[in-house]
Structure 1
Amino acid sequence: MTQHSIEIIGFSHVCIAVSDAEVSLLFYRDLLGLDVFFDVELEGPPMEVVTGEAGARGRMIGGMLGGTVVELLEFKHRRLAQQSENMLGYTNISLSVSDIDATVAAFEAAGIVPEQRPVEIGGVRMFFVRDPDGTLIEFVSYPNRERTSAQMWGYGN
């Protein structure tokens, strides 16, 4: 490994802005299994500093999902616009599943239509769904029961 000037000790969390925390909990907690361990109201100077907006307030819900902390952040002082399809930077979160077909069936049973049928690229099967706010979420199944792309590529072995 190469030496870097900043030592990263771990991946902290993924934060997803949502328009309605209760609706998003139905998706992330009740359907995907987000194990919520905090739910806090945010306001005052710390929230104003983070957002750069006077009067900023919101609600943040955090939990474990697939071994990663996911935070749902609802801004209560203003409405957010949905992201466009053509954007740079963050595009989606990707969650590993052991059975891609069973996952598609579970979404369909919940009334959520996947963006497409599962496709296979280089032995990896995947499909996308959108959360209640349109945020793209990828579901992926790796060959040989690997859980991550790092495992599939032999990284760390």
Structure 2
Amino acid sequence: MNLIHVCLNVADADESIEFYEQFGFEESWSFETPDGETENRYVADEDGVELQLSETDGETEFEEGTSWDHLAIGVDDVDAVFADIDHYGVVEEPGDQPAAGARTTFVEDPDGHVVELVQPLD
């Protein structure tokens, strides 16, 4: 068994793609639902991990379940990426998490999805 992709509802796929490109993701493919109501665009990293960005025509209010918390992305330097990226909110400032063996920070993407940036501690 392997993870194929994570699907995120987004108000503006172009804006979300620009956000995830900052982490090395590139747009890979897209499709529209048969009823023409939803465009699904995908971004993938160099290892083939995909995010499905399901555009909601500007809708930003979603009923949130309790099973979704955050998306984790590995980076070489949490502090440098945190300083350089165009994020849309800080959930948690960069800090060491010795129990997890990592330095992390949590930011929001354009639609408020929480993204954790993870750097292994040496």
TM category (shorter chain) comes to: 0.7 to 0.9
Aligned residue pairs total: 119
TM-score by length of 1: 0.65
Matches within 5 A, 1:12-31: 12-29=4-21, 31=22
Question: How is 1:1-157 mapped onto 2 (pairs within 5 angstroms)?
Answer: 9-29=1-21, 31-44=22-35, 57-65=37-45, 67=47, 68-76=49-57, 79-82=59-62, 88-107=66-85, 110=86, 112-122=88-98, 123-144=101-122
What letter corresponds to residue 29 of structure 2 in structure 1? F
For 1:12-31, what per-residue CA distance to the aligned partner results, in whole angstroms no more than 9, with x for missing partners? 111111011122122123x2
CA RMSD of aligned residues (A): 2.3
* Structure holding more helix per residue: 1
Q: Whole-Å Cα distance in 2 between the matches of residues 113 and 75 of structure 1?
A: 21
Structure 2: state its 5+ residue gaps.
none
Separation in 1, partners of 2:55, 2:89: 24
Contact conserved, 1:63 with 1:70, CA < 8 A, in 2?
yes
Task: Read off the aligned partner of 1:94 and give its amino acid letter.
Answer: A
One-letter amino acid of the counterpart of residue 52, structure 2: E
Secondary structure, aligned partner of 2:91: coil
Displacement, 1:128?
A: 0.7
SS in 1 for 2:3: coil
Q: Give the greater-gyration-radius structure (CA).
A: 1
Runs of 5+ consecutive residues of structure 1 not aligned to the other structure: 1-8, 45-55, 145-157
Structure 1 residues 34, 83: closer, same or farther in 2, change over 3 A?
farther
Larger relative contact order (CA 8 Å, sep ≥ 6): 2
